Amino acid sequence: MRTSTRVRLRRKIEKLNTSLLSLGGKVEENLRMAVMALERRDADLAAQVIDGDAQVDRAEVDLEEECLEVLALHQPVAIDLRHIIGALKINKDLERAGDLASNIAETALHFASVSHVEVPNDYYVMAHKTQAMLKKSLDAFVNTAVRLAYEVLAEDDEVDWMKHTLHKQFEQRLRKEPEAMSSLVHLFLVSRHLERISDHATNIAEEVIYIVTGEIVRHGQKLGKEKRSSSRALSEDTL
């Protein structure tokens, strides 16, 4: 590839990165606002998140078109090709995470008019963990940091366990508060949405590993603790 062509391609990839990080920032903010709306029972804040999801959708379409244009015009290879393919997949994961943040905002709207049903603090603990995972996965992308990506993969199990614990609490509360069934179902769905967002953060981290190393760690290939530790140690040695 000629130097001038290579420079143009790098500029296109840098533009893609900027667009992707802008989308990621919007999704992070929507998730933060959705959780805050639930905590404060703030209908106006919840409505902002729901209305803002259209912006996320438009950005996702625009970024996909940018990626396809680069693939068609520049025919990248090796790490550049992996980077653009990874960006396409991360783009879709962010859009879906944005949809789930909007779903949480829908629940916040419901709870804005329901003051008698308690929202346990465990939901907010799970939310903060999920937010941290999403941020770390985007940081891993920005810095092409495999170590951070493997940390996200390891943390996914913790969020899964939180959701399992909240499911048990949900079943117990249903027996004790059958009159609040509708609100409790809404609330339990928040834990499902958060767990799915953490899955998308994990997907993003997996794409970072693919971009940097060419290694595919998907399709339920869960790393055991020993393998995770050795993988993280290897990644630290190679960064």
Among residues of the chain, what percentage have pLDDT more than 70? 90
Cα of 92 vs its chain's centroid, Å: 10
> Rounded to 5 degrees, what are φ and ψ at 77?
-135, 170
Tell me what the mean pLDDT of segment 224-239 comes to: 42
pLDDT of residue 4: 78
Contact 101, 34 (CB under 8 A): yes
Residue 186 has which token pair? 């809404």
Tell me what the mean pLDDT of segment 103-109 comes to: 97
All residues at 6 or more sequence positions from 174 whose CB lies less than 8 Å from its CB, including other chains = 181, 184
Residue 9 has which token pair? 């391609």
Contact 200, 31 (CB under 8 A): no
Residue 24 has which token pair? 């990621």
Q: Find, among 142, 132, 146, 140, the residue nearest to 232 by Cα.
A: 146
Supply the angle between the helices 146-176 and 225-238 in degrees, to the nearest 10.
150
Taking 50 as the threshold, does the pLDDT of residue 222 lie above it?
no
Alpha-carbon distance of 100 to 102, in angstroms, equals 5
The DSSP code for 222 is: P
When divided into structural domains, the chain yields a total of 1
CATH value at residue 16 = 1.20.58.220
Residue 21 has which token pair? 């990080």
**pLDDT confidence bin for 221, thresholds 50/70/90:** low
Q: Find, among 115, 103, 121, the residue nearest to 31 by Cα.
A: 103
Contact 42, 108 (CB under 8 A): yes
Residue 122 has which token pair? 């465990």
Put simply, whether the predicted model's pTM sits higher than 0.85 gets the answer yes
CA distances in angstroms from 191 to 10, 119, 170, 197, 212, listed in the order given? 40, 11, 10, 10, 32
**pLDDT confidence bin for 6, thresholds 50/70/90:** confident
Dump pLDDT digits (tens) for 29-50.
999 999 999 999 999 999 999 9
Contact 191, 103 (CB under 8 A): no
Taking 50 as the threshold, does the pLDDT of residue 234 lie above it?
no
Contact 150, 213 (CB under 8 A): no
Alpha-carbon distance of 97 to 101, in angstroms, equals 6
pLDDT of residue 101: 98
User: What residue numbers bound the domain in which 164 lies?
Assistant: 3-238
